[in-house]
Chains A and B, each alone.
Chain A
Amino acid sequence: MAESERADALFHALADPTRRDILAVVLRDAYSVSDLARRYPISFAAVHKHVGALERAGLVTKTRHGREQRVRGDVATLRSAHRLLDDLEALWRGRIDRIDQLLADSTEGARQCP
């Protein structure tokens, strides 16, 4: 997956409060999708879809356990030093752009009000 697609999947996965909650739950312990569905006032299909989005972002993995699949948060992904640095890089790139915009705004302001 290209870097931009990976970032997109990650952002999409984390943008939803239910998915963030599911991730927080499965980081502590593995659950089947049915177990998870019982925790939320939404359909099994909706929970299944949320888990799929987390899986595509590499944030959870599914393992077969008898007749059911269990979902577990991928701590390795989360803890990856490189991943942390990638996230931090994106954060700082955003900050630098905002500083640039702020400096440009104030220059325009000065021109308008000499």
Chain B
Amino acid sequence: MPVISVVKDADARTMTVTARFDAPIGRVWQVWSDPRQLERWWGPPMYPATVTEHDLARGGTVTYYMTGPEGERHGGWFRVRAVDPPHNLELDAGFADADGHAIPETPTAVIRVALSEPAGGGTQMTITTAWASDEAMEQMLATGMEAGMTAAVGQIDALLDLSAQA
């Protein structure tokens, strides 16, 4: 399993996922920098992502939507706060409408991605998601039931993986 650790801190409103991949750092960077590769993993299997805009320069915008089982679209956006290929990427992330426009008054999070080359080979990726406030974190679920559902679909993925290993 590539996931090394998941550290959840409800008080600090952060979650940090650390994973290690058996691939060179430049190759792992591509899963973020290539929109066609980003769409292959961002959305859960029942909610595949389509990236509509992808500018990973500082200040640039990435927009995408995920298509649900009944054809409904859930939009999202990133704004690039900082980028240093192939090591660091810092994004603001939020909800968008079907056309990719940010929905005002909806919660946003900051996603920090750090890639490094640990001794022994491969690439380590650390992803930290942070919310500005408890309200932003709660709203993410309370106002965005769909986001909760998307996450629930992710849960079944995890369960299927567990049962496949058993």
Contacts and interface: CB of A to CB of B under 8 A. Distances in A.
Contacts, number: 130
Contact of B154 (A4, A75, A93, A101): A93
A87 interface: yes
A92 B18 CA distance: 10
A23 to B, nearest CB: 8
Interface stretch (A6-14, A31-39, A44-52, A61-69): A6-14
A91 B27 contact: no
Contacts of A81: 10, 13, 134, 137-138
Interface residues of B, number: 46
B155 A11 contact: yes
Interface of A: 4, 7-8, 10-11, 14-15, 17, 20, 23-24, 27, 75, 78-79, 81-104, 106-107
5 contacts: A15-B152, A20-B149, A96-B3, A99-B28, A103-B22
Interface of B: 1-3, 6, 8, 10, 13, 15, 17, 19, 21-23, 27-28, 31, 37, 40-42, 44, 70, 125, 127, 129, 134, 137-138, 140-142, 145, 148-159, 161-162
